Structure 1
Amino acid sequence: MGSVNVRKNKLYLDFRYRGERCREYTLLADNTINRRRLNQLLEKIEAEIVLDLFDYGKYFPKSKKAAHFSLIDERKRQSIAAIDTHNSPLLSVFADIWLAEKKIEWSKGHYIDVSGVIEKYLTPAFGNQKISSITKQKILQFRSILSQVPGRKGEYLSSSRINHIMTPLRQLLNEAADRYDFNSPWKNIKALKVGRTVIDPFHLDEVESFLNAVPDAYKAYYITRFFTGMRTGEIDGLQWKDIDFVNKTIKVKQALSRNELKELKTESSYRDIDLIDRVVSVLQEHKGSKYTTSTFVFVNSKGRPFCYPVVSRTIWYPTLDAAGLRHRNPYQTRHTYATLLLASGESPEWIAKQMGHSTTTMLFRVYSRFVPNLTRRDGSAFEHFLNNGGH
């Protein structure tokens, strides 16, 4: 924030431009009218600085600082001109080429996510620039601007979301640099630090309170979520052919994303989940009920698989309110399953397989404070734990 100051009864402006302190002296006497005039001028200057529209020579043509910044601008123009000599396309043009090439590789959901980021954020910022002219300074300035953009709930974009937006930009620049033979500006730019995932599992009595409050049409769905630890996409994509009632298992082999079944992200995610009797019973009852008429286990009134945002908004959060429970995101059902298994004394190796983790490393890192001395390996301790009210 600049200021209007006085020296030898003459007013001068004191402000910062491009990281440098600037003082510009006037012949105006120190009085109320002149101070008001200079404060108005200073406000205009600072607004133009923020918008990157400030021309130092326009306001202070005889200033040494004007010549100094003019020289810097000329060098910058020469540098950009040199970069622009590369035979590279506009970012918007190359992004279209790149997306068309990647479409065959990516899932539908991933393609929609990346193309959405390019359309909403990257094209407005860089679309009309040659991709070879995008500098590290521009990248960092863009990221800084993103940190001041309001999100959907009025809060600023999170570090995780900003990283998500920056990833396609990095991929575009690195791929273009390789194709058009220029040095990628993406050097030593680290992703923003993201806080640890919030683990806020339900206690067993809270689980029961939720299940008592949830509408009947969704009771089987949430019992299965709480007592299998399946991810949202996994349970929404669950089909009857993947349930073995004889051996009491669910075979997890696909996930539903944007109404499309897709492969799982990691090899360890393909797994067989051992079911407790409570889940088996509720699924058998659900199969013969009016709430399912599809190859999918859980469907809406139109016979289509559940849509996570709709179910979350219309069922999950209203049920939390009805049960008098604090708001948590639906993924906490998975965390709840893991912590209940740990509290019941099941083997970490068995729990890791149930959760779809390749090793116990993540289990201990994420849920370490919930781990007692563990000995069981077959699921019976968990069954006993539930049947005895969590004791």
Structure 2
Amino acid sequence: MAKISVRKETQTLLFDFNYLGKRCREQTTLKDTKANRRKMEKVLERIELEIIAGTFDYGKFFPGSSRAKVFAANGNPGASQTAPATPPITEVVVNTAPSVATTKAVTPISPEPSSPTFAEFAAIWLGENEAVWRRNTIRAASIHLNSYLLPYFADMPLYSVNKAHCLDFRAKIAREGGSLKGKTLSAKTVNEVMQVLGAIMAEAAERYDFANPMQNVKRLKARKVHIEPFTFEEVQLFLKHVRPDYHSYFTVRFFTGLRTGEVHGLRWPHIDFDRREILVRETFSHLGREYTKNEGSQREVKMSEPVYRALKAQHEASGHFSDYVFCSKVGTPIQPLNVNRRIWKPTLKRLGLKDRRLYQTRHTAATLWLASGEAPEWIARQMGHTSTEMLFKVYSRYVPNLTRKDGSAFERLLEQRLGGGA
């Protein structure tokens, strides 16, 4: 089996392969580095392919080797063959003298690079990331792979995937919905699928040394999603009429800005009544309990008075039989889909309130904090944002100035300068 070996005495690399039933070892002066191994592996691939094709010329690759003269004297089978025309390349050519290494322009056969198929590498890539990704991330990547990417790219060798393939694939899933026949995907979903493709191809390009075809493929322009927070009056109305056993749950959601998974993964050891803090350390979904979305999501959320009273009431109701703050009658975490279907939507409909996603409770907390004049930096920390950038980007129209009335400062300036001057 052909391979790249290391000479122990000099710690330099050598070619080790079989040709015409003889073991051939050709020494170089290249040190054992990753870059040098990669260069030599490319040469070795060409050698193997030319041997298989019957066009291998020993002297072309190793002109100073004594074996080259022996094979030439015995009628080197490949020396008389004419290799297909390919653009000249510069490659390392070596001989058996340990101190000799020259660079020479040669015109070898240009074999196809060696790489696995897209499906083979995608399985490797997904397996390697399972140790570091959250379960929801793994699940989303698996869905995109099985539903969209594999039906198109599965049997293609990685090196053969080019930019035209990527653009054609993007157009196809945007137009036909991929495996969801008759259903057009949103620009957001298409971008998510292409992000997985880009991650796979970027890793493969680095490992197998070919140009990344996704490097200059741009994201589709997606529509901006506008938030729909509740007014304070709507919050009061909802809490007044929601099912009593869910009053504490929604009080916490409306006045803390916790994400759905953070609320459902909340456990009593992470409730600090003395310091009036909620310690956000875990999240929960149908896939189970796991670490929060990211490092920035690990935070301490201050309890306002309504939240403090709600958690005290909840502790009296369920603290004696479950580790989870909000739980079912048997002590297990409540399921988001059940809350949405059985409590949230029916209550909105009964009160005549606009139908919204349950996630709007998080946006409501942020806008209420902004309306009260809390510092943006403090709000960002409560929300689990690492900076105020997201706060101003998402909630810009809800950020008041120091007068608590947007535009009033400019009105006052105009009145002083124009009105006073007159």
Instruction: State how far apart, in whole Å, the 1-side matches of 2:343 and 2:111 are.
Output: 54
Q: Please, which of 142, 159, 164 is the counterpart of residue 132 of structure 1? A: 159
- Following TM superposition, by how much is the alpha carbon of 1:83 offset from its aligned partner in structure 2, in angstroms? 10
Partner of 1:242: 270
Which of 168, 181, 184 is the equivalent residue of 1:141? 168
Aligned partners of 1:224 and 1:279 also within 8 Å: yes
Pairwise CA distance, 1:338: 0.9
Instruction: Provide the TM-score with structure 2 as the length reference.
Output: 0.65
Q: What is the percent sequence identity of the aligned residues?
A: 42
Deviation at 1:347, TM superposition (A): 2.2
**One-letter amino acid of the structure 1 residue matched with residue 157 of structure 2:** K
Q: Of residues 381, 394, 397 in structure 2, which corresponds to 1:353?
A: 381
Question: Given residue 260 of structure 1, which amino acid in structure 2 is its aligned partner?
Answer: G
Partners of 2:386 and 2:307 in 1: CA distance? 24
1:292–1:298 Cα contact (<8 Å) kept: no
Match status 1:96 vs 2:110: no
* 1:228/1:251 CA distance change after superposition, 3 Å: same
TM-score (norm 1): 0.69
Q: Give the counterpart of 2:194 among 166, 191, 206.
A: 166
Q: How many residues align?
A: 295
3-state DSSP of counterpart to 2:312: helix
Partner of 1:296: 324
Q: Relative to structure 1, is the Cα distance of residues 144 and 264 closer, same or farther in structure 2, using a 3 angstrom cutoff?
A: same
Instruction: Tell me the equivalent position of 2:281.
Output: 253
State the 1:307 CA deviation.
Answer: 2.4
Give 1 or 2 for the bigger CA radius of gyration: 2
**Does the CA contact (< 8 Å) of 1:131 and 1:176 recur in 2?**
yes
Give distance in 2, aligned partners of 1:216 and 1:285.
11
Indicate how the Cα distance of structure 1 residues 235 and 374 shifts in structure 2: closer, same or farther if over 3 A, else same: farther
Residue 341, structure 1, aligned to residue 369, structure 2: yes
Question: Are positions 1:111 and 2:138 aligned together?
Answer: yes
The 5 A counterparts of 1:145-160 are 145-149=172-176, 156-160=184-188
Contact 1:347 1:374 in 2 (8 A): no
Cα distance in 1 for partners of 2:375, 2:164 equals 51
Which amino acid in structure 2 is aligned with residue 285 of structure 1? A
Cα offset, 1:343, TM superposition: 1.1
What displacement does 1:150 show? 5.1
Q: Distance in 1 between matches of 2:214 and 2:224?
A: 26
Deviation at 1:236, TM superposition (A): 1.1
Secondary structure in 1 matching 2:317? coil
After superposition, residues 1-391 of structure 1 pair within 5 angstroms as 85-149=112-176, 156-289=184-317, 293-374=321-402
Query: Is the 8 Å Cα contact of residues 92 and 128 (structure 1) preserved in structure 2?
Result: yes
Moved more, 283-292 or 334-343: 283-292
Whether the 8 Å CA contact 2:318–2:325 is kept in 1: the answer is no
Q: Is the 8 A contact 1:238 1:297 kept in 2?
A: yes
Distance in 2 (alpha carbons) for counterparts of 1:214 and 1:100: 44
**Consecutive unaligned residues in structure 2, runs of 5 or more:** 1-108, 405-422
Residues 302 and 192 of structure 1: is their aligned pair in 2 closer, same or farther, counting only changes over 3 Å?
Answer: farther
Tell me, what secondary structure is at the counterpart of 1:261? strand
Shift of 1:230: 0.6
Question: Match of 1:288, SS?
Answer: helix
CA separation of 1:359 and 1:96: change in aligned 2, threshold 3 A: closer
Query: Hey, what does 1:381 align to over in structure 2?
Result: none
Question: Which runs of 5 or more structure 1 residues have no equivalent in the other structure?
Answer: 1-81, 377-391
CA drift of 1:226 comes to 0.1
Q: Which segment drifts farther, 300-309 or 113-122? A: 300-309
Counterpart code for 2:374: E
Higher relative contact order (CA 8 A, sep 6+): 1
Q: 1:299 and 1:155 mapped to 2: Cα distance?
A: 37
CA distance in 1, matches of 2:345, 2:264: 18
